[in-house]
A and B are shown apart, each in its own frame.
Chain A
Amino acid sequence: MVQNVDEAVAKGKLIEFPVVLKIISPQILHKSDVGGVVLGIGGEAALKEAYPKLIAEVRKNNPKAEVLGVLIEKMMPPSTEVIVGGIRDSQFGPSIMFGMGGIFTEVYKDVAFRVAPVDKIDALNLIHELRGSKILEGIRGQPPADIDALVDVLIDVSSLMLQHSAVSQLDLNPVIAYPDGVCAVDTRIVPAKNDGGM
């Protein structure tokens, strides 16, 4: 996390461009809704321009938000996006969710759940339950996503939800699935006492 544009430039050079900026504020849960995310910043000049614009945009959209700083991260190349989540269900307790990202989640609600713990077989079944799982298997000449790595993420989130009762809800959204490995590019954790009653 950086506090000003100079720190951002220094950090940007260190982690290599392209980079991403994300606003960090306890009042802002949905960063992109308030213009708090800038993607694909290609170099130093673009970064110097983007940083103040990001701050200004957030101030304009949510003047009361306390800005703790700006997160600068390497911009991950695009690939298939999925969402992995954790919740505590009132009936079944710690559970995990897997869904196809983007519009598949927003429009088609192509998501499915399992009660923790999940093992490798459960995780594979969960992945294949989605209508969009064919995309992960590779369509239109695209290479298949690293299913084993996705399975590991699902098993890890399941363990996390079982072992850490302080976590009420968890989003890894999106997780970008590559042919070799996966990367969670944004994370949200709702602590147990701030869960809105779940």
Chain B
Amino acid sequence: MDLAPFFKPKTVAVVGASRKPRKFGHVIFKNFVDSEFEGKVYPINPEAETILGLKAYPSVVDVPGELDLTVIAVPAPKVPSIVDECLSKGVKAAVIISGGFKEIGGEGAKLESSIKEKIEGRSLRIIGPNCIGVYDPVNHVDTLFLPKYRLRRPKQGPIAFISQSGAFGAAVLDWATSQEIGISKFISIGNKVDVDEVDLLNYLADDPHTKCVTLYVEGIGRGRAFLDAAKKALKRKPVVVLKGGMTKAGARATMSHTGSLAGSAKIYEGAFKGAGIIAAQTVDELFDYARVLAYQPVPGSQKNVAVVTNGGGFGVISADEISRRGLNLAEFHSNTLERLRANLPDYAIPHDPLDLVGDADVERYRVALDAVSSDPNVGIILVIVLLQTSFIESDVVDAISEASLASGKPIVVCTIGGDFTQMLVKMLEEDQIPAYPTPGRAISAINALIQYSKVREDITRRAPQ
């Protein structure tokens, strides 16, 4: 079934919209009222005449006309009857924010089962319960009950983010906003009474605003369906997964050698690799990988890395990291060497890593990036730019962006520092050049990009000739 009503609703009802500003229902309702959301939004509250100046309705069934999306933020015991009303109204999609279901067991689990039974075979789709729902900056859908002064909303960007955990999702969104990282869609899936990561992966595969899908999941309910959905999505875009609970040793039989070696982490690793999913081990990696995958082109058959730096130490560490991960430094073509010798000062030795030396200015970066990025022996470029020297100004961002556009080769940046550096990191982010604070994280991101390019090559090799 189509999930579009969650993301592109023309009409939205908020059940539990309250006059009290701290209530979840109030925050959610206000999100729609205050935003550029172009559809109609209706507060549902049997005890109120109006909320934020809009006429309140006692129930969704009283709302005139069709209802695409209903956001439910009332205590768990009231939810099943609201679902009944949604069904009789013909609501297409509902987000159940409320907690107090399967996650508490007992009565809560019974309530959740009753909801599952009610929607069985019906067209109503449900996200949640026990979630923070949907944030879609494209269509200004925002069911997050956390006020904007606490959880800032990221701008629109190419990364979709599905999180099983609402709190983790909220924290990441707030952080992403501070880093100028854009989001195409955010979905917190909670207890997954209906819509799960498989449905969303299938939907996001076709979403024109999403260039990379990221997921944080703890349990994957439908393992094989998930792998199939990932494989399908990977024909269009990369999928990065952070799987929580990997180290929990599965209680496995030891009748066979294979069984005794099959820890859950090992199986997940193999399952993800087989499907072409990029596995992130840490929260950092999830977005480190997503940014390079969403922003930068995949390398062609040439995957050797050129490092251009104004700090010798970071160049050396990068070379170590490249070798540690089984990647290769580029050997510059003779034309490149000639160009570098002619244009760089004598004390800058033209080999990879290319140390432009501490007094490098933006012009020197421009010359070096131009030569290196057009070298056929170079597939990927890591630009290290340490901004503590007074020789470099912020137009180094333009030099890097121009080299990226002119060469069509992937470029990532490594830079670390205080306020000035952070400002440039954001400018780079704006130009879709991912920057990382350490050589290790930059090379790790490059490694993920190479991994994805190999996935793409396998897909091409499998395509019918």
A residues bordering B, Cβ < 8 Å?
29, 83, 85-87, 89-93, 95, 97, 99, 105, 109, 111-115, 118-119, 121-122, 125-126, 129, 169-171, 173, 188, 190, 194-198
Q: Is the CB of B270 within 8 A of A85?
A: no
Q: Which residues of B contact A95 (CB under 8 A)?
A: 262, 267, 270-271
Do the beta carbons of B270 and A112 come within 8 Å of each other?
Answer: yes
Are A169 and B270 neighbours in the complex by a CB distance under 8 Å?
no
B269 is an interface residue with CB less than 8 A from chain A: yes
Bound-complex Cα distance A170 to B253 (A): 12
Give the residues in chain A near B258, CB-CB below 8 Å: 83, 85-87, 97, 169-171
Q: Contact: A115 with B257, CB < 8 Å? A: no
User: Closest CB of chain B to A101's CB: distance in Å?
Assistant: 10
Q: Let me know if B82 is at the binding interface, CB within 8 A.
A: no
Tell me whether B274 and A194 are in contact (CB under 8 A): no
Whether the pair B253, A97 counts as a contact (CB closer than 8 A) is no
Contact with A along B256-297 (1 / 0, CB 8 A): 111101101011111101110000000000000000000000
Determine whether the beta carbon of A198 is less than 8 Å from that of B267: no
Evaluate contact between B262 and A97: CB separation under 8 angstroms. yes
Q: Judging by beta carbons under 8 Å apart, are B255 and A114 in contact? A: no
Q: A91-B220, A112-B266 are in contact. Are A196 and B462 (CB under 8 A)?
A: no
- Residues A115 and B256 in contact, CB atoms below 8 Å apart: no
| Inter-subunit contact B224/A115 (CB<8 Å) | yes
Q: Which residues from B are CB-within-8-Å of A105?
A: 257, 261
| A29→B462 CA distance, assembly (Å) | 40
Query: Residue A92 contacts which of B254, B267, B273 (CB distance < 8 angstroms)?
Result: B267
A115-B270 contact in complex given A93-B223, A93-B224, C-beta closer than 8 Å:
yes
The residue in chain A whose Cβ has the minimal distance to the Cβ of B219 is: A91
Chain B residues with CB under 8 A of A83: 257-258
Q: Is there contact, CB below 8 Å, between A129 and B273?
A: yes
Report the Cα distance A190→B257, complex, angstroms. 11
For the A-B complex with A169-B253, A197-B251 known, give 4 more contacts whose Cβ atoms are closer than 8 Å.
A83-B257, A92-B271, A115-B275, A170-B258
> Known: A109-B261, A111-B261, A121-B461. Is A87-B256 also a contact (CB below 8 A)?
yes
Rounded to whole Å, the gap between the CB of B447 and the closest CB of chain A is 14
Q: Is B252 an interface residue (CB 8 A)?
A: yes
Contacts of A197 in B (CB 8 A): 251, 253
